Structures are given as structure tokens and as C-alpha cells.
Chains A and B, each alone.
Chain A
Amino acid sequence: MTDGFVLPCLATGVPGLDTILGGGLPEFSFNLIAGTPGSGKTTLAHQLMFNLASPERTALYFTVLGEPPLKMLRYQQQFSFFDLDKINNSVRFLNLGKEMSTGNFDEVLDRIVREVHDHSAGLVFVDSFRSVTVLANAHGHGDNKLQNFVQRLGVFLTSWQATTFLVGEYEGTESGANPVFTVADGIMLLNQTVQQNSSVRKIMISKMRGQATMSGLHTFRIGGTGIVVFARTLAEAPAKIPPGNATAPVRDRLSTGNDELDAMMSGGLPAGHSLLVSGPSGSGKSTLARMFLAAGARAGEKGLLITFERNVSQANTAEMERLVAHGSVTLIETPGLDVSIDETLHALTGALAKTGATRVVIDSLSGLEVALDPSFRLDFREAVYRLVAALTTAGAAVMVTTETDEHCAPAQSAPHTTAFLTDAIIIQRYLEVDGALERHIAVVKMRNSAHSDTVRPFRITESGIEIDPAP
């Protein structure tokens, strides 16, 4: 990049898309929105069009032989971005079916040129451009003729100062051989991967001339507002401990809500640190997590709670419901199934920024793993690392719970070998004492801080957990 001409970019208005585009969509670019059937191409094209179109920048949406226009208009109206006031004003739908049926590219180009001239279009969409390719083949035109047509179209529309989007059903694998891919300035590839019974949509900016795009596949979801893209971010490693200064003292300590446990942790969890609470089912992990949030609320701090179990109320306790109603704790909604780690991360960091929360509880990693789309489960450690690192880098103290399998087995810090991902670890376990199960708790790790190495019996009461004093 030089200090010379700066490529003007359009803000697409599609949440998250500008981030992965590297700052927006280059103006007057000639783009291809490609992907498998049902991957969201037409929805993305419509969302871009309604967001970008204005009286000063009118949009023409040429339909060819892909999705019938009647159906397209019927279904796209279900999205909130579909603005009836723009129809036939700043947005016009035009059908190229008649010109395309002749297979004469000159006629097609003439019609597009005429309409662009007549309406002074600044945005041009052709859906589906795949149909153009298919018809070219059907009429015996080779790739050369198609490439010539695409080049003439691209040159005209760019010279006309129009930003163009060709929409088509293309696989990423054919990009090398297809002339459309060669001519395009930008290529947005959409797909929908299916694994077991789950599916997740992903987008990749495989080409965008003049832009430093975010590489790789990014998940997106289609909801009532249209497409929301969740950029795949890898937060920088938390810089709580300066390099070479591993004994630097931690600053503020956050109370866990239990004085004995705070004492075992040399005063509580250091601000901005992460804590894993591990234990078998029913051992009191969620109880401790909610005590942590309640302690924050008493200290005037805001907290976030994200849960993945659907069989109980997220708040779980009357006190937590009161704190949620009061605004001290914010519940983060999750879709329930086919969750993407980036979507979860965006929901949490967005809520952090909005509420100014300093405490985050993720209850639990086991639930998150079940709710995640299988493609994210394959590298669960990396997913959890990104999640925790992003939150702690933002300055939040994070408590995550995780369930161990065996109820009375020797102390086990955590499954998934996720233990190294957090700054501190607390384990809960059952011991059989005189024919009864007794809960025990221990602090097994606190990065950069002293901590107790005792194993303490504790009980769950109406006021939370009560830990026996040190012997």
C-alpha cells in the first residue's frame, strides 16, 4: 500500500462484513457473490442492495433464470432490511429472461447498458450469473466469448462508476477455470457445511483487490434482520504479566462471594484473570459461579452470564433473577444448537462493551461443547482459548465451569485438557466419608499468585456454598 490513491470504500451495513472485507467494500468494484444453493447468496445481495441504495446511488437488480423473481420478492420481504419505500425509487428489479433466452450476449449487454444509463445506476446486481454461463454453454459459446462478455460488462460498469455484484452458484473449486473469477475484483464465497445433524454457514473473502481482508472462513447466521457475520478473531494473548516479569504482583482481587475461598486464593481472583471451576455433576459449580456474579453486584460491578443448558432457567436462582432484573447481571442468549464459537464470542464482547461488565461466567464448557456445531468441536481447546483470551484481554475476569465424569474418582482438574487455558483452577469433588458423600474443594492453580493447597470440605446451603475453616 502506498501513500497515494486511497481506495474509497462503502460501508455495507451488513454486521461484521466490513470487518472481514478489511474496512468495507471498494467503490466501483466488480464482485462475485458465489456459493452453493441455499448458502445465502441472494439474501446477502439483497441486504447489500437495500443498505447501499439511495436516491443518489440507485440500484438495479437484474434477475436472469435462477430464482424466479416472484419467489425472490416473496421471500426476501421477510427480512427487515427489505424496504418497500425503496422499490421502484432507489431499487429497481429488472428481468433479463427475454434477452438471455436468445443466448446473444450483445443483446444482454445492450439491455444492461440501456437500463444503467436510463436509471443512472450506481449499484448493479445480476442474479443468477450462473445462468449466463449455463446459457453460454447451451448456445455453444466457449469460455472466450463468456470472458469477453464479462470483461466488457466489467469495464462498462466500472467506467460508469457502478459497484457490481454477480450472484451465482459456484463452488470454490472451480475458481481457477472460470473466467468470471478471473475478471472479478472481489469474490465472496458462501457455503453451508453439514456435519452429523448440524449445519453452519461460512463466508470467505477469497479475493478483494486493493483490500487487506481477513483470511479464512468466518461463520455467519441468517436471521430476521438478514445476515450477521462473525469475524474469526484470535485475540492477542492477555498481557497481564509483562514478559520476563513472571513474579509481578497482581493488582485488584475480585471476591468469589465466599470469604474462605477468597482466603484460599490469597484474596480472591485477580481482576482480568480466568478461573476454571471443575467438578462432577451436582458438586456446586453453578452455585459458585452465581455467587461470583452476586459478589460483583454487591461491589457495584456488572456481570455477564451465559449458559447452554436449556432444561433450567438461565438465572437459576431467585437472587440471580433479581440481579438480572436490576441490570447488574446480563444474560446472554444463545441459539441453542449449531452454535459457532465466533458468534458466542461476538455476543459476549458486544455485551461487555455495552454493559461495562467486569465479570463473565460461562456455565458450562460442557454445555458449550454440546451446543457447538461439530466443526468447532474438533478443536475445542482452540475455541475455548480464543473465547477466554478475548474476554480477559478486554479486561474481564472470567469464570468457566466444566463437568468431570467420575463422582468419587481422584481429583481431576478438567477434561479436554483445557486446564492450561485458564489462569486459575478450582476443583470440586465428592469423597465418601462414613457412608455419606462429602463435597470437597481445592485451589490447584493460580498463575502468578500464592494459594492454599488444602482440600476443604464444603456444603451447599440456601445462601450458597459454605467451606469449613482451615484446620
Chain B
Amino acid sequence: MTARHVDRAMVGAAPDGVTAEAAVDGVVAAWRTMFDVLAPVIGEGGVTALFLRTCNLTRLEHDWVCRPDTGDGTTAGLALLAEVLEGRSVEEICAATHRMLTTFVTILGSLIGSALTERLLVMAWPEVAIDVCEENAKS
């Protein structure tokens, strides 16, 4: 799972020419899809903890990104994220989301390995699955 794969997923979330409002909806939907895939496997608590860590690390670069509480579930966390994304430009939304998704994937990969991470995330992002399959076929 590479930054390019994240970019590929982002295309679905915030395609070119989209409004900031639509971009927020797309980004939140992308996160929600991923959480739905991961929560049955690593638990709601596991997903929440990863999201919390992701937000904290992303804030080093984008200090306006939300800082959910440990008690917040993923639903509350995403609501907070949507809140802070609103009012930002499409470019800002895309840049922060790119950083967040990359960070999230990196953390998950460091915990359970990149191969398993990839297997789980392609379930959430079929666009990425196509890319990965193409890359595997080439290699």
C-alpha cells in the first residue's frame, strides 16, 4: 500500500472540480467505508485508537485537524473531522486527507504488516484493489 494507492482512493473521495462541500462528504464517506471494513476485524476500539493516533500525527503538519478524545467512537471522530474540514478549501482538504490516510495506512502496516493491511484496505477501496492487482500482474 503506497501513497499512490491513497491518491487513487482520494480520486473517488474528491475528484477534480468538486466543491469543498462535496469533497468533505467524499472524504468522510471514504473513511467510513474503511472503518466499516476494519471494525469487524480489529474492533471498533482498534479503529478508534488508530484514528486518534492518525489525527495527532497529522496535526504536526495541519494543526487545524481535529483531536478526538479517546472516548469518542469512530462516528463521533468522523463528525469532528467533518466539522473541521468544513470551511477549508478543496486543496487543504485533499492535502490533509492525503496525509491522514497515508499515516493511517502506515500505522496499520507497522502493526499488522503491509501485506495484511493491503488485503484489508482493498476491500474498502476497490479502486486500490485494481491498482494492486495490476501491479502484482506486472511483477
Judging by beta carbons under 8 Å apart, are A87 and B45 in contact? no
A350 at interface (Cβ–Cβ under 8 A)?
Answer: no
| Other-chain contact of A88, B44, B111, B123 (Cβ < 8 Å) | B123
Quote the shortest CB–CB distance from A159 to chain B (angstroms): 24
Judging by beta carbons under 8 Å apart, are B43 and A87 in contact? no
Interface size class of B (residues with CB under 8 A): 10 to 19
**Roughly how many angstroms separate A69 CA and B50 CA in the complex, as a whole number?**
13
Quote the shortest CB–CB distance from B70 to chain A (angstroms): 14
Question: With A68-B45, A68-B46, A69-B46 in contact, do A93 and B119 touch (Cβ < 8 Å)?
Answer: no
**Roughly how many angstroms separate A93 CA and B119 CA in the complex, as a whole number?**
13
Judging by beta carbons under 8 Å apart, are A95 and B116 in contact? no
Chain A residues near B115 (CB-CB < 8 A):
84
A364 at interface (Cβ–Cβ under 8 A)?
Answer: no
Residues 111-130 of chain B, each 1 if its beta carbon lies under 8 Å from chain A, else 0: 11101100110010000000
Judging by beta carbons under 8 Å apart, are A98 and B44 in contact? yes
Quote the shortest CB–CB distance from B59 to chain A (angstroms): 22
**Roughly how many angstroms separate A77 CA and B114 CA in the complex, as a whole number?**
11
B40-74 contacts to A, CB under 8 A, are 40-46, 49-50
Chain B residues near A95 (CB-CB < 8 A):
39-44, 46
Judging by beta carbons under 8 Å apart, are B111 and A74 in contact? yes
Quote the shortest CB–CB distance from A81 to chain B (angstroms): 15
Chain B residues near A87 (CB-CB < 8 A):
116, 119
Judging by beta carbons under 8 Å apart, are B42 and A73 in contact? yes
| Other-chain contact of A77, B42, B116, B120, B123 (Cβ < 8 Å) | B116
Quote the shortest CB–CB distance from A65 to chain B (angstroms): 9
Residue of A with least CB distance to B113: A77
Judging by beta carbons under 8 Å apart, are B112 and A73 in contact? yes
Quote the shortest CB–CB distance from B119 to chain A (angstroms): 6
Residue of A with least CB distance to B73: A98
Chain B residues near A63 (CB-CB < 8 A):
43
| Other-chain contact of A68, B39, B40, B43, B119 (Cβ < 8 Å) | B43
| Other-chain contact of A73, B39, B44, B49, B116 (Cβ < 8 Å) | B116
**Roughly how many angstroms separate A111 CA and B113 CA in the complex, as a whole number?**
28
A210 at interface (Cβ–Cβ under 8 A)?
Answer: no
Chain A residues near B49 (CB-CB < 8 A):
70
A97 at interface (Cβ–Cβ under 8 A)?
Answer: yes
Residue of A with least CB distance to B43: A95
Closest 4 CB pairs of A and B: A95-B43, A73-B112, A69-B42, A93-B41
- A–B complex contacts, Cβ < 8 Å, 19 sampled: A63-B43, A69-B41, A69-B46, A70-B42, A70-B46, A70-B49, A73-B42, A77-B113, A84-B119, A88-B119, A88-B123, A93-B41, A94-B40, A95-B39, A95-B42, A95-B44, A95-B46, A97-B43, A97-B44
Taking A77-B113, A84-B115, A97-B43 as known contacts, 11 extra A-B pairs with beta carbons closer than 8 A to each other, sorted by chain A number, are: A63-B43, A68-B43, A68-B46, A69-B42, A70-B46, A71-B111, A73-B112, A74-B111, A93-B40, A95-B41, A95-B46
